[in-house]
Amino acid sequence: MANPTSFRTTIESRLRFIYKENYKGKITDDLLSVIEKYEQKEGSSTKWDEKDVVLITYGDSIKTTGEQPLKTLHHFLNKQLKEQLTVVHILPFFPFSSDDGFSVIDFREVNPELGSWDDVTDLNHDFDLMADLVINHASSNNQWFQNFLKQEGVGKDYFICEDPGKDLSQVTRPRSTPLLTPYETAGGIKHVWTTFSADQVDLNFANPALLVEMMDILLGYISKGARIIRLDAIAFLWKIVGSTCLHLPETHEVVKLMRDVAEYINPSVVILTETNVPNKENLSYFGNDDEAHMVYQFSLPPLLLHALHTGNSSYLTTWAKSLPQLEGDKTFFNFTASHDGIGVRPLEGLLPDDEKLALVENMQKFGGKVNYKSNPDGSTSPYELNITYFDALKGTYKVEDELQVKRFLASQIVMMSFAGVPAFYIHSLTATPNYQEGVKQTGHNRTINRRKWQLNELDEILNSETPQKTVFNELKRLISLRKQQSAFHPNAEQEILDMGSNLFGLIRKCKDQSILCVVNLSAEIKSAEWPDEYSFDLITGSEIQAKELAPYQCLWLTGPAVFKG
């Protein structure tokens, strides 16, 4: 357990850095008073191992008549995925006004349309919990913002007002909507900072009272059982006019502070940053091993999609070789799909513009949509691809074909092979096709990948001879197999191989096992070369006689143990 005196010194140092000349000792006292409300845990400081697998889902991704969605989800997971999953990421389960949960009305309550805290606790008895701290903004219906409009009460100074006449062109924009939104307040019209939408009003962390409030909310989630805390849109947290307002030093220091505070209360808690940005910027959130424990592997989904779409592994391989070796308390959150689209910005510097634009165009041919962002020069450019990962792989740049299931399974095997913790969006596990009807209903592109399954409909699909049943059952089998391999520990050594442009290969090593992963990224039979000591394929459970891979075939080949002194 941390020494209280040294902990106070650390906290004070962080706060002095954040607030500089505006720092006052009361800020430290107020934060420590909040922290003292929560009981310290002496649990293990081990944060993850090869058995960890995350499911990403909305609280109502699976529904049935007459039952709260969180209960339905819990029952489905216990029946179908109890042996495969260790962590369930329930996307924001709070009362909200827009953006499917990310415009939070009340950070401390469960949306009654989903269930209650008791339902969250019940699910937490069978699975570890990952929860969102939607930290950058609040709903315009949040009581804090309503108090801001009235200019009285808690929250009246929690928001950012700016002169619309100022030059804000350098501010990094993830959307094409206006940065400032006018609101009528008791003090007249105020132009309020709204990075993501008019209903998602940015919070002002230059006010230390707000930081203390958010720390209380963070610790509240941990006290409710959250093992992983996802810091949503954290990169945009701090604002300084004249800058990009992205990844500012104060933002990084807030993440470090949150790590310090979370570990002080519970050493097993993991802080995960969600930063859908270019690769180098994303990696910066590891800090000097003192910031995020885990960062999203944002470049993996679009690079892997490009590799399978073109049959060319060169860009994926080059990027993978650049990744740092993961040691100690840092690792990657590996995924191919989430509730959001497939990010285009994480391809910056990794994929030529013509390749990027060709990928965008071809995803539209497969039924996908595109969301755009505004640039400083007034132009717009693609920000994310909106398409289910299953339908994104229904063909190649040449044509749609009959190899969608094999191609999709190959994508998931590659993701599972990388160093880090694997995470599956529920619509990847169920191989959900594009939900075009939902896009028509909501008018939002992201709805294409946010279908709400009726339980009886999903059960019928998973019990019939469908591509969804094939994918679901094979992924269950592969996940169970992966969990038994110590070489797939999130921090096990990773070596990326050069195996030719149509193949992707890597070796994972720990002290008692090594696994060679080889994947054919093309729709043609390909020959390969690898060391003869790698001969037994875990996926098929058989010796490999010929070094030849069928279209989209994947191998997990076991080799000699790696003994380290």
Q: What is the pLDDT of residue 375?
A: 87
H/E run at residue 163: none
Query: Which two tokens mark 511?
Result: 């002290």
Residues in the chain: 565
Annotated active-site residue in 232, 329, 340, 391:
232
Partners of 554 in beta bridges: 519
Residues 31/257, Cβ–Cβ less than 8 Å: no
Q: What is the pLDDT of residue 367?
A: 97
Instruction: Kindly report the number of other CB atoms within 10 A of residue 299's CB atom.
Output: 28
Q: What is the pLDDT of residue 506?
A: 98
Scanning the structure block, which residue is given the tokens 């990952």? Answer: 130
pLDDT tens per residue, the chain (565 residues)? 567 899 999 999 999 999 999 999 999 999 999 999 999 988 677 899 999 999 999 999 999 999 999 999 999 999 999 999 999 999 999 999 999 999 999 999 999 999 999 999 999 999 999 999 999 999 999 999 999 999 999 999 999 999 999 999 999 999 889 999 999 999 999 999 999 999 999 999 999 999 999 999 999 999 999 999 999 999 999 999 999 999 999 999 999 999 999 999 999 999 999 999 999 999 999 999 999 999 999 999 999 999 999 999 999 999 999 999 988 899 999 999 999 999 999 999 999 999 999 999 999 999 999 999 888 888 888 999 999 999 999 999 999 999 999 999 999 999 999 999 999 999 999 999 999 999 999 999 999 999 999 999 999 999 999 999 999 999 999 999 999 999 999 999 999 999 999 999 999 999 999 999 999 999 999 999 999 999 999 999 999 989 999 999 999 999 877 654 3
Residues 307/301, Cβ–Cβ less than 8 Å: no
Counting beta carbons within 10 angstroms of the beta carbon of residue 453, is it exposed (0 to 12), middle (13 to 18) or buried (19 or more)? buried
CA 51 to chain centroid, in Å, comes to 19
Q: What is the pLDDT of residue 136?
A: 98
3-state secondary structure 522-533: CCCCEECCCCCC
- Alpha carbons within 13 A on the beta-carbon side of 348: 14
451: nearest Cα among 426, 476, 424, 423: 426
Q: What is the pLDDT of residue 1?
A: 59
52: nearest Cα among 428, 429, 423: 423
The CA distances from residue 543 to 413, 480, 536, in Å, are 19, 20, 4
Which residues, in sequence order, are CB contacts of 66 under 8 Å at separation 6+? none
3-state secondary structure 452-478: CEEHHHHHHHHCCCCHHHHHHHHHHHH
- CA dist 516 and 354 (Å) reads 33
Q: Which residues of 411-437 are buried (b: 16+ CB within 10 A; e: fewer)?
A: bbbbbbbbbbbbbbbbbbbbbbbbbee
Q: What is the pLDDT of residue 44?
A: 73
Strand order in the sheet with 493-497: 493-497, 503-510, 513-520, 554-559, 536-537, 542-543
Q: What is the pLDDT of residue 237?
A: 98
Q: Is 100 among the residues known to form the active site?
A: no
96: nearest Cα among 228, 207, 196: 196
Partners of 139 in beta bridges: 200
H/E run at residue 537: strand 536-537
